[in-house]
């Protein structure tokens, strides 16, 4: 698990591509501290396993599914990337829950300066937009950011100067493709709602078998409906 707080920017030293996979060599320093072969490092928000490590770089395999779903296929030698090690058990939870499994990509449609902040408007697919809510969290190229605006076609974030300077946001321009990971809580809620009131665990099932029919009917309704979630800003139809 990651937090979306970038530790350093690394540089792609080489990319060895085969038909449907690749091996990345990434130059870095800070994220290599205490890192071992088999550990996870998020590269532009994508959880990759370290397969080789030296004092100034590490290597990681990239599978076909990862290349298909993300912007890693657009990397080239010299590209800068956001890096974060997996969260330590005794570490601070500075961002939000980030799995490192991207949901898809978006395209930067607009970049605007607003006093000391910079607004990035990102266009993406409805399948991703439906999980995005104003004031909620979104991961962009591994960076934990707060959604400032959202519409049926795009969403926008406002980044402070520090975030821009210590991440690859400062290299981005209109038309660039970025990796996106939705807040995982929304996806779990959607999955649970898809089963309605019929799915219960073994313990609850045992209890239900011993209840009267009236109590069964009461227990089967959680009170959480699509209308409830929409009213309170947890669901959007796009």
Confidence of residue 216 (pLDDT cuts 50, 70, 90): very low
Please check the confidence at residue 232 and state whether its pLDDT lies above 80: no
- Phi and psi for 188 in degrees, rounded to 5? -70, -40
pLDDT of residue 87: 86
State the SS3 of 87-99.
Answer: CCCCCCCCCCCEC
Please check the confidence at residue 225 and state whether its pLDDT lies above 70: no
Confidence of residue 236 (pLDDT cuts 50, 70, 90): low
Measure the CA–CA gap between 164 and 117, rounded to whole angstroms: 9
pLDDT of residue 220: 45
Mean pLDDT of 232-238: 60
Could you tell me which residues are beta bridge partners of residue 80? 11
Q: Return the structure tokens found at 162.
A: 């520090």
Confidence of residue 195 (pLDDT cuts 50, 70, 90): confident
Structural domains in the chain, CATH included, are 8-85 (2.40.30.20), 104-184 (2.40.30.20), 195-231 (no CATH)
Measure the CA–CA gap between 142 and 71, rounded to whole angstroms: 12
Measure the CA–CA gap between 137 and 2, rounded to whole angstroms: 14
Measure the CA–CA gap between 141 and 115, rounded to whole angstroms: 24
Mean pLDDT of 64-82: 92
Per-residue pLDDT of 81-133, as tens digits, reads 999 999 877 766 777 888 889 999 999 999 999 998 999 999 999 999 999 99
Distance between alpha carbon 115 and the CA centroid of its chain, in Å?
Answer: 28
pLDDT of residue 224: 62
- Phi and psi for 161 in degrees, rounded to 5? -55, -40
The average confidence (pLDDT) of the chain is 86
Mean pLDDT of 4-10: 95
Confidence of residue 61 (pLDDT cuts 50, 70, 90): very high
N residues, the chain:
238
Q: How many CA atoms lie within 13 A of 151 on its CB side?
A: 6
pLDDT of residue 10: 97
Percent of the chain with pLDDT over 90: 64
pLDDT of residue 218: 43
Residue of 237 and 61 predicted with greater confidence: 61
- By C-alpha distance, which of 146, 133, 143 is closest to 186? 133
pTM metric for this prediction: 0.79
Measure the CA–CA gap between 47 and 83, rounded to whole angstroms: 10
């Amino acid at each position: 698990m990651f937090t979306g707080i970038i530790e350093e920017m690394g540089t792609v030293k080489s990319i060895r591509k085969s038909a449907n996979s690749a091996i990345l060599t990434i130059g870095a320093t800070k994220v290599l501290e205490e890192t071992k072969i088999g550990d996870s490092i998020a590269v532009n928000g994508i959880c990759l396993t370290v397969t080789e490590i030296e004092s100034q770089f590490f290597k990681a395999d990239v599978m076909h599914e990862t290349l298909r779903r993300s912007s890693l296929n657009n990397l080239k030698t010299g590209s800068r990337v956001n890096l974060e090690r997996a969260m330590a058990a005794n570490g601070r939870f500075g961002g939000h829950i980030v799995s490192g499994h991207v949901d898809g990509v978006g395209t930067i449609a607009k970049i605007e300066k607003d006093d000391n902040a910079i607004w990035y408007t990102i266009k993406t697919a409805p399948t991703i937009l439906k999980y995005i809510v104003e004031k909620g969290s979104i991961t962009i190229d591994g960076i934990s950011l707060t959604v400032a605006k959202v519409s049926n076609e795009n969403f926008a974030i406002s980044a402070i100067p520090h975030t821009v300077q210590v991440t690859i946001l400062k290299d981005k321009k209109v038309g660039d493709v970025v990796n996106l990971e939705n807040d995982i809580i929304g996806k779990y809620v959607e999955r649970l709602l898809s089963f309605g009131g019929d799915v219960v665990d073994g313990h609850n099932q045992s209890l239900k078998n011993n209840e009267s029919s009236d109590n069964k009917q009461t227990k089967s309704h959680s009170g959480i409906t699509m209308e409830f979630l929409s009213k309170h800003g947890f669901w959007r139809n796009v």
